[in-house]
A and B are shown apart, each in its own frame.
Chain A
Amino acid sequence: MVANSSDEKKGLDSYLKMPLVGGAVIGFAAALIQALLFAAGGPQAYGFCVACHSRDLINYVYNSLTGSNLFLAPFSANAVAAGTLPVLTIIGVLVGAIAAAALYKEFRVKKGDAKSYLAYGIGGILFMIFALCMGACPYRLALRIGYGDLVAVFGLIAIIIGIFIGIKIALKRMEA
């Protein structure tokens, strides 16, 4: 019995380890959230976005602390106006990944040097600014393309060009 249940667990985990399954589940879950909760507010194709959902959460915190009135998407703004909280997707992702990493003993502290922290800090700031220029991270971009937004296809092509440039730079650095 014990062996059986551990086999089952392994079987399920082998599916969870397939990005193909994860992608299909994210697409389904994002569409389901809109189907259930669109009355709370738009925009469309807003079920999952790391950039926009982080923006809603941090702007809510910033507004609460400073009394300012930074923008939140209607989906979050209406929830806040009703006395509850904005989207908490990002907290969910962090906690879900910590739980999985702990259960499978894959949690390991990895430190960097001061130079790398500086690069990642500035990189994070710039990444978010450019992602919000697009109104999407690569995830909401995928949702928007699935929704039939052709403008989002320009974003995907641009991301591919950016990745291509990034690879060239990385390869050149390795040669040097």
Chain B
Amino acid sequence: MIDGFLIPKETAVLLVPIATIILGLVIGWFGQRSGFCSIGGIRDYLLFRQTRLLKGYVALIISAFAFYLIFSLLVPAAIPSFLWCLQDGQLLTAIGGAPAVSVAGVIVLMIIGGIFVGLIGTLLGGCPLRQLVMTSEGNLKSLVFVVGMLAGAVIFTALVSPWIIEVFKAIGL
């Protein structure tokens, strides 16, 4: 234990690519076998009252909560501010929100972003994980979607994000 961490920073940074590629391999395998899809789960429930995929997404939230809780007891330094909403007497503060944007601004972004994420995901047949898995299954439309996602990430970081901060500053969010 160094500074309360299981692995010191110098080693941890070296493990980032290895750990995440292993995580990805496991999730990719699961995703292919189960057809896992977050947006598909909610869609199937709203359309057909089918819960097969929805159970997966609910299990993800519960499992994340349970294991963050367990690890926050075992390695408190690595799970700081667990139960985020109970920190500092502020019910609404966002994890990893841009420091230039207020909490109200983050909520506005959540609502606008969420509606379009749900809408686009439904019209084009799946959440981003499903698109990755369908790409691996040979679906060329999903491949184009994934390439679009990568382009969208660069466009967002370089152009959209600074623009949002400007606009929010101007309207006081």
Binding site for B on A (CB under 8 A): 13, 16-48, 50-51, 53-55, 58-59, 62, 68, 70-71, 73, 75-76, 78-79, 81-82, 84-101, 104, 106-112, 116-117, 119-135, 137-139, 142-152, 154-167, 169-170
Known A-B contacts A16-B34, A93-B133, A123-B148; the reply to A137 vs B140 at CB < 8 A is no
In whole angstroms, what is the CA distance A57 to B123 when docked?
26
Query: From residue 121 to 148 of chain B, which have CB atoms closer than 8 A to chain A?
Result: 121-124, 127-129, 131-133, 135-142, 144-148
Q: A132 — nearest CB in chain B belongs to which residue?
A: B156
Judging by beta carbons under 8 Å apart, are B117 and A89 in contact?
Answer: no
Residue-wise, chain B 35-48 has the 8 Å CB interface mask toward A (1 for contact) of 11011011100110
Judging by beta carbons under 8 Å apart, are B16 and A38 in contact?
Answer: no
In whole angstroms, what is the CA distance A160 to B42 when docked?
7
Q: In the complex, how many angstroms separate the beta carbon of A165 from the nearest chain B beta carbon?
A: 5
Judging by beta carbons under 8 Å apart, are B138 and A108 in contact?
Answer: yes
Judging by beta carbons under 8 Å apart, are A170 and B16 in contact?
Answer: no
In whole angstroms, what is the CA distance A144 to B67 when docked?
13
Q: In the complex, how many angstroms separate the beta carbon of B72 from the nearest chain A beta carbon?
A: 9
Binding site for A on B (CB under 8 A): 2-3, 5-10, 12-17, 19-36, 38-39, 41-43, 46-47, 52-53, 55-68, 70-71, 74-75, 77-86, 91-98, 103, 106-107, 109-124, 127-129, 131-133, 135-142, 144-158, 160-161, 164
The 9 closest A-B pairs by CB, nearest first: A92-B24, A124-B148, A162-B118, A96-B28, A158-B114, A19-B56, A166-B122, A27-B63, A146-B64
CB pairs A–B below 8 angstroms (13 shown): A19-B59, A23-B55, A26-B30, A27-B59, A27-B61, A93-B132, A94-B135, A127-B152, A139-B127, A150-B92, A155-B110, A159-B115, A169-B119
